[in-house]
Amino acid sequence: MQTIRFPERSAWAALLQRPVMDTSALEQKVNNILQEVRDNGDQAIRKFAAEFDKVTLEDIQVPAAAFAAAESVLEPALKAAIQQAAKNITTFHRAQQEKVQVIETMPGVQCWRKPVAIQKVGLYIPGGSAPLFSTILMLGIPAMIAGCKEVVLCTPSLHPAILYTARLVGIEKVFTIGGVQAIGAMAYGTDSVPQVYKIFGPGNQYVTCAKQLVNKSGVAIDMPAGPSEVAVLADDSCIPDFVAADLLSQAEHGPDSQVVLVTTSESVITNVTNALNAQLEKLPRKGITTAALDNSKMILVKDIDTAIDMLNAYAPEHLILACNGAENLADRVTDAGSVFMGNYTPESAGDYASGTNHTLPTNGYARAYSGVSLDSFVKKITFQQISPEGLQNIGATIEAMAAAEGLEAHKNAVTVRLQQLEKSNS
């Protein structure tokens, strides 16, 4: 990790820049795959499975027997852990349900808002070197609580934990499709895969690009996403071994991940560096983690106020406050995906089991986006009902505003009703 001491504010933007990948040829390549899936459906899915994943895809949908088989081979301890995580995530997301509240804005004018589930959603779980069954919990549970009518899951991985978790949360339609072709299948629909209205889930640069392209064609996505990241604010009250472990936990995601330590103490940099080097040697994903650390920084600043300003400017996906007064400092955080307070709150807790959602905005999007929640799986429809008395109370206001905008038909829609009411009352 690079160490920077007391950078000027004018240098922050360049200092806090994420790793930039050359994507000049990416969009065209991804668009070609999406177009072929749109035109040829299952035939294209099988073609790309052979070309990219080196597999012959016979059954695109996972058969029911595979779920029972997965449960039978999974270790009881892991099943218990998944069940506990599911319980916590369910508890947290169920509490996000809203009750409909009717508001009378003036006598006879009633307005309310009702959450309605997005009827068809698609979840993508990448394959790669780690079976991300935890993401099925994070996406599948709120989808079920919201009441989504159809939940489709695409993944190239048939790891038993993925199939077990899918069945645990109630997902029945699982398809062994990966990459861009999975996003295309859910966006456009094929003979095997139902079309959905919104797509969720992480993925590499190809999957991210595919989500952004189908979004342009009218399919909603959860959020723009990029490589995973964490920022840690630490002072002399931190435990260096813990901070090092947290930095490494995100760096091991991929070579394009980034981790940032911001501290007010030179000794924290020294101690965390020593702990990080010692722990790194023991990691099975040392090569990937080392590549991510090359993108990463330790930054020494003069005081906590500067640190908070810098971290808000960075807007990290994950922010750990390993410092005195973490609870008070948390109130000053304006831009972050998820915040972890104190020495005993590892980012891994949010990734797996505490209850909060781990699908979060990256690459600075936390300035404007929230992480996935129950709200991500519903749309809010507004309703209103106006009584005759209410229209008489509000009618003149509407007529005056419509006339001022030169929209005579808008005005007339009120006027004809008011005239009818006058006749009825005379």
Q: How do the domains of the chain map onto residue ranges?
A: 2-19+227-355, 26-107+116-222, 387-425
Where b means 16+ CB within 10 Å and e means fewer, 384-420 reads eebeeebbbbbbeebbeebeeeeeeeebeebbeebee
Asked if residue 157 belongs to a known ligand binding site, the reply is: no
Which pLDDT value is given to residue 205? Answer: 87
Q: What is the pLDDT of residue 394?
A: 98
Topology classification of domain 2-19+227-355? Rossmann fold (3.40.50)
Distance between CA 37 and CA 234 in Å, rounded?
A: 48
Three-state SS at 68? helix
Per-residue pLDDT, 225: 79
Can you list the residues of the chain whose pLDDT is less than 50? none
Burial of 128-154, coded b for 16+ CB within 10 Å and e otherwise, reads eeebbbbbbbbbbbbbbbbebebbbbb
Enumerate the active-site residues.
Answer: 317-318
Q: Is 351 annotated as a binding residue?
A: yes
pLDDT at site 267: 98
Over residues 18-48, the pLDDT tens digits come to 887 667 789 999 999 999 999 999 999 999 9
Q: Report the 10 Å Cβ neighbour count for 27.
A: 13
pLDDT tens digits, residue range 325-348?
999 999 999 999 999 999 999 999
Q: Which residues pair with 319 in a beta bridge?
A: 231, 339
Report residue 14 as tokens. 């360049």
Q: What is the pLDDT of residue 224?
A: 80
Cβ count near 80 (within 10 Å) = 10
Structure tokens given for 188? 């456009």
Distance CA 75, CA 109 (A): 59
- Please state the pTM of the whole predicted model: 0.93
Q: Which two tokens stand for residue 91?
A: 């508890």
Q: What letter represents residue 220's amino acid?
A: A
Separation of alpha carbons 120 and 129, rounded Å: 29
Instruction: Check residue 141 and give its pLDDT.
Output: 98
Q: Which CATH class is domain 26-107+116-222?
A: alpha beta
Give the CATH fold of the 387-425 domain.
Answer: 1.20.5
176-187 residues labelled b (16+ CB within 10 A) or e (exposed)? bbbbbbbbbbbb
- CA separation, residue 108 to residues 99, 102, 197, 390, 399 (Å): 22, 12, 36, 4, 17
pLDDT at 82: 98
The answer to whether the annotation marks 2 as part of a ligand binding site is no
**Is 410 part of any known ligand binding site?**
yes
The yes-or-no answer to whether 26-107+116-222 and 387-425 have a common fold is no
The CA distance from 100 to 119, in Å, is 19
